[in-house]
Amino acid sequence: MTGVKRMAEQETITSLIDQLAQFDAAIVSDCLAGNEQAMSAAIKPLVRNFKICGPALTVKCQPGDNLMLHLAVAQAKPGDVLVATTNQHYEAGYWGEILTIAAKERGISGFVIDGSVRDIEQIIDLEFPVFTHSVSIKKAEKKTVGKLQAPIIVGGVTVNPGDIILADASGVVVVPANRLKEIVRAAEEKVEFEKNVIAKLKQGQLTADLFDLRKYEIQ
């Protein structure tokens, strides 16, 4: 691929990510088949109004060690979302105020971890969107190498480097990079469909009729 072509492609991806950011994560999740791209309910925002949309930089931490997060911050590009696993070890605060400030300075757009974080009041005050399984006060070591930019499983979903993470109060959904354009179009249609349903509900119609559910009515 020529440099010019690569730049044009990057521009398209950036514009599609901006478009995806306009949608609720639940709408986008519904556009991907069968919930398989939706993370488990265990991964939650620290506060309700947190929202993330951006490409994943994947991080595999060793249990109890956050070395790879410090190295990931050093590698990240503006807009990246750090997405991390800890082998489902929750007894360490893998992320806190210091990493949040470092990440903000690099232009990182958010953090998702199937692990634990600490310093949560500071993170909330810094308005840096963090989605986490748990909170832990315990110190993480910084001495065991894991992996960066390898496929990982977070909240039951495989995340490949460069997949787009969309997260809000409903939860976290992972849009495979090669489906981004198709999913943005599908989300536009889904929003139109729901607007139409809401307008009809406000005219007094019922979901039982609009969704053709009367056939299931108990006799």
Ligand X SMILES: O=C([O-])CC(=O)C(=O)O
Interacting span for ligand X (CB under 6 A) from 47-55, 57-65, 93-101, 105-113: 93-101
Q: What span, in angstroms and rounded, lies between the C-alpha atoms of 25 and 30?
A: 9
Percent composition of the chain: helix, strand, coil (DSSP 3-state, to 5): 40, 25, 35
Q: What span, in angstroms and rounded, lies between the C-alpha atoms of 164 and 161?
A: 9
- Interaction pattern, residues 50-89, with Mg ion; x per rule: CB under 5 A: ----------------------------------------
Does the footprint of ligand X cover residue 140 (CB under 6 A)?
Answer: yes
Q: What span, in angstroms and rounded, lies between the C-alpha atoms of 176 and 161?
A: 9
Count of positions on this chain that bind Mg ion (CB under 5 A)? 3
Closest CA to 86 of 105, 109, 102, 66: 66
Candidates 93, 115, 146, 155: give the one binding ligand X (CB under 6 A): 93
Residue number, 23 or 128, with CB nearest to ligand X: 128
Element (DSSP H or E) covering residue 121 = helix 120-125
Does the footprint of ligand X cover residue 98 (CB under 6 A)?
Answer: yes
Interacting span for ligand X (CB under 6 A) from 78-86, 92-100, 107-115, 161-169: 92-100
Does the footprint of ligand X cover residue 146 (CB under 6 A)?
Answer: no
CB burial of residue 91 (10 Å; 0-12, 13-18, 19+): middle
Q: How far is CA 91 from CA 72, 116, 120, 134, in A?
A: 21, 7, 15, 9
- From the list ligand X, Mg ion, none, pick the one residue 99 interacts with, judged by a Cβ distance below 5 to 8 Å according to partner type: ligand X
99 annotated among ligand-binding-site residues = yes
CB burial of residue 67 (10 Å; 0-12, 13-18, 19+): middle
118 annotated among ligand-binding-site residues = yes
Does the footprint of Mg ion cover residue 123 (CB under 5 A)?
Answer: no
Tokens (6 digits) for 10 = 């990057």
For residue 145, count other CB atoms closer than 10 A to its CB. Answer: 12
32 annotated among ligand-binding-site residues = no
Does the footprint of ligand X cover residue 135 (CB under 6 A)?
Answer: no
- From the list ligand X, Mg ion, none, pick the one residue 187 interacts with, judged by a Cβ distance below 5 to 8 Å according to partner type: none
Q: Which residues bind ligand X (CB under 6 A)?
A: 66, 93, 95-99, 118-119, 140
Show binding-site residues for Mg(2+).
Answer: 119
Question: Which segments are annotated as binding site for substrate?
Answer: 96-99, 118
Chain residues that interact with Mg ion, rule: CB under 5 A: 96-97, 119
